[in-house]
Structure 1
């Protein structure tokens, strides 16, 4: 069976860093759109960026081919470059320190392994329709208690 082609846009936001955070994912498949978003207390922007990706991927019911757009180079480089070295080094950085947000990175690694993902970086606040909408949803999640 051919895998479905899906597009996901993600974003995270934080009011203060750390502070109250919001995350959002927009999942697009053919003419279907699903928005998933939420908030957390006392978190960081990077945690919200990771949480957005994890929840966007968890919204899928089966293995897919995904074009995933993020404006976070931390997420893109972390999952495409740094993670393999972290795993080989027992989740330690090159400075022998524990990887920050290790639990989220491990969860992302697990859910991402179920799909074929083309990780794409998009410049934030640069007019990309769905990136702007994901940003708005993440910010809305912060305010909507």
Structure 2
């Protein structure tokens, strides 16, 4: 059983989200949810606990996670909990009740299909965090809910003759980047916002220098040649998405 977990939190504490993907052969299950006030370590641990509680029989569980905290939870002496684990004592008890039923191992994931699935579930967790922050809700139902977006088949061959997990064109954009954005013809930066200060600043500078102004055109991130454009450091960020209210436009 492969388990991919993701957690996100805006502040410490602050609004957060978690997501988990379980895969065994052709079978897969996804859960995700959020919390109004939480911490990153709690979201990461919540995802893993829900994954283990979903398993109906003893299994060999291989955890794929970018969380150093979860790695330490699995590899360090449980009899000597650190400060974070003491803060999450309720979740640690639930983890202990499940852990004895399974053989658990932590897997370092750097590339390939596993890394692509890990990136995807982290985006699901980020979406939950953004939705929670945007709603400004103080409470939400505690029961986890099924993911509303189907799990992508990253093993299949894409239209470029590669596995989706390896194709720079077919992979989803990084966190903070909308699927459709803007650039100037001949420019090297991808913008979420057509009114981005830095996009307009470039136009202003060209005008002052007597240069021909290049049109601002719309472009899909999926059509960007790998290495051709860099996301704008101002408007292609999670914080910009939160402030602009354009969270719902993210393609997950």
Which band: TM-score by shorter chain?
Answer: 0.7 to 0.9
Corresponding residue to 1:109 among 96, 99, 102: 96
Deviation at 1:133, TM superposition (A): 0.8
> Contact 1:14 / 1:44 at 8 angstroms: preserved in 2?
yes
Secondary structure, in 3 states, of the residue corresponding to 1:37?
Answer: strand
Of 41, 48, 51 in structure 2, the residue corresponding to residue 53 of structure 1 is: 48
TM superposition shift of 1:70 = 1.4
Aligned to 1:42: 37
2:67 matched to which residue of 1?
72
Q: RMSD value over aligned CA atoms?
A: 2.4
Structure 1: 5+ residue stretches without partners: 1-5, 87-92
* More contact order relative to length (CA 8 Å, sep ≥ 6): 1
Aligned-residue offset at 1:114: 1.4
Alignment: residue pair count: 130
User: Alpha-carbon deviation of 1:132?
Assistant: 0.3
Give how far 1:42 is off. 0.4
Structure 1-normalised TM-score? Answer: 0.79
Highest Rg: 1 or 2?
2
Secondary structure of 2:107's counterpart equals: strand
Please give the TM-score of this superposition, normalised by the length of structure 2.
Answer: 0.47
Q: What is the alpha-carbon distance in structure 2 between the residues aligned to residue 84 and residue 131 of structure 1?
A: 29
1:4-24: CA deviation from partner (whole Å, max 9, x where unpaired) = xx1000011012221111011
